Amino acid sequence: MNLSELTLDREGLAAAIACEDAAFNEALSEEAYRVKVATIGPEVYLRGLIEISNICVKNCLYCGIRRDIRCPRYELSEEEVLATAKIAAGRHFGSVVIQGGERTDPAFIRKITRLIKAIKAIEPSTEGEPPLGITLSLGEQSREVYEEWFDAGAHRYLLRIESSNPDLYRKIHPDDSLHSYDRRIKALYDLKEIGYQAGTGAMIGLPFQSAEDMADDLMFYKEFDAPMIGMGPYNPHPQTPLTLAGAPYPSEKRRFALGLKMIALLRLLMPDINIASATSLEVLDPRGRELGILSGANVIMPNMTPEDKMVNYNLYDRKTLLRDSHSSLVEELESKKIAIGYGQWGDSRHFRKCPDPF
Ligand code: 5AD
Ligand code: SF4
């Protein structure tokens, strides 16, 4: 396939996804990077990732911290989260992401509300810098809870659709009301209506997933008009039902290539949104996130979870072997002449362009 033959409709996207020609993939990445720089500039924004807890009420069939997996569970204290957020502020990251397993108990919800307010109150380390921006990634919650957290000061929320195909969604989740595709969609629209920058995304290279499914994921992002997307390769975890069932999935090399390709295609489809270069790329290739940036992504989330806890946030195989060295990541980017947007929220241009919902 030739880049000039690419069309950004379902069929064209599926053909590009299925194409395994290395020259095509490379040309696609280069074009996406060019479009990114021309549309939103060369900067990469950092979000300090704080994995607050690996306790989860859900049982997704692919996830290494699902409810039924026996593993040491942890929850960071408010002091630990605040101390980590202060490190992020000191490094001028501009934003933090608070991510964790899904929990809906009132104690947890109130704790998050207090933390959002406390993080917002951290003095910026340089005059003129805004207070830290806060992205939440804490799963499905009631509309009231989303409102409470928004009012406390969070302004972005990541809730992956995991797969936009309801049949595939059903195959990778238990069949019960806690894991309902419709509820997930409703949560995404709640977030958007409340005024969050509502990000979503899906896993790439799942068992049972076709090129058309992946093309539909891209079309879903466009249809939802997502201001930010975080998507990454599926990496099996040895103890999950999905792995143990033995369903085939693409090779490591192929999943990595697909991960980069989905970023590149999305950049062409939605030139001014924020696209994260996912940690799951880095597990498959030591330069994974850098190559994600060179394929059109513009956000990186360095993991700032304290190391003794990070080892238990084991979503998939080898994730915990990653040790995020902020300085080596920055060095890597700077050696490629990729500028980092320090001290800014790095909001999606796309969102700012949208009409004010209020
Ligand atoms: N491989 C890749 N990503 C995974 N996630 C969970 N399990 C896996 C896995 N095995 C992702 C999901 C979830 C995010 C927190 O981690 O997409 O939304
Ligand atoms: Fe819980 Fe998220 Fe893992 Fe599902 S993917 S089991 S909601 S942490």
| Amino acid found at 17 | I
Rg over CA atoms, the chain:
19
CA distance 251 to 256: 9
pLDDT at 353 over 70: no
CA distance 288 to 122: 32
pLDDT at 357 over 50: no
Q: Using one digit for the tens of pLDDT, what is the confidence trace for 288-297?
A: 999 999 999 9
pTM (two decimals): 0.95
**Ligand approaching nearest to the C-alpha of 140:** 2
The preferred substitution site among 315, 319, 320, 322 for testing ligand 1, maximizing ligand atoms within 8 Å of CB, is 315
- Give mean pLDDT, residues 142-153: 98
Helix, strand or coil for residue 203?
strand
- Amino acid 330: pLDDT: 73
Q: How many C-beta atoms lie closer than 10 Å to residue 74's C-beta? A: 19
Residue 349: pLDDT band (50, 70, 90) is confident
- Amino acid 321: pLDDT: 59
The preferred substitution site among 203, 244, 280, 284 for testing ligand 1, maximizing ligand atoms within 8 Å of CB, is 203
Q: Using one digit for the tens of pLDDT, what is the confidence trace for 300-342?
A: 999 998 888 877 788 877 665 565 555 677 777 878 778 888 8
Here the tokens at position 277 are 């270069």
Helix, strand or coil for residue 180?
coil
- Amino acid 356: pLDDT: 43
Residue nearest ligand 1's atom 18 by CA: 160
Centroid of ligand 2 to alpha carbon of 280 (angstroms): 15
Residue 14: pLDDT band (50, 70, 90) is very high
- Give mean pLDDT, residues 23-37: 97
pLDDT at 284 over 90: yes
Q: Using one digit for the tens of pLDDT, what is the confidence trace for 84-106?
A: 999 999 989 999 999 999 999 99
How many CA within 13 A on the CB side of residue 124? 16
- Give mean pLDDT, residues 235-254: 96
Distance from CA of residue 105 to its chain's centroid? 24
User: What are the DSSP calls for 290-311, one per residue?
Assistant: HHHHTTT--EE--B-S-HHHHT
Going from the N-terminus, what domains does the chain have, and what CATH number goes with each?
Answer: 3-353 (3.20.20.70)
Cβ within 8 Å of residue 84, ≥6 positions away: 48, 50, 76, 96, 304, 305, 306
The H helix count followed by the E strand count for the chain is 15, 9
Which spans in the chain are helix H? 10-18, 22-40, 78-90, 106-120, 143-152, 166-171, 181-194, 211-224, 241-244, 252-269, 279-284, 288-293, 307-310, 326-335, 349-353
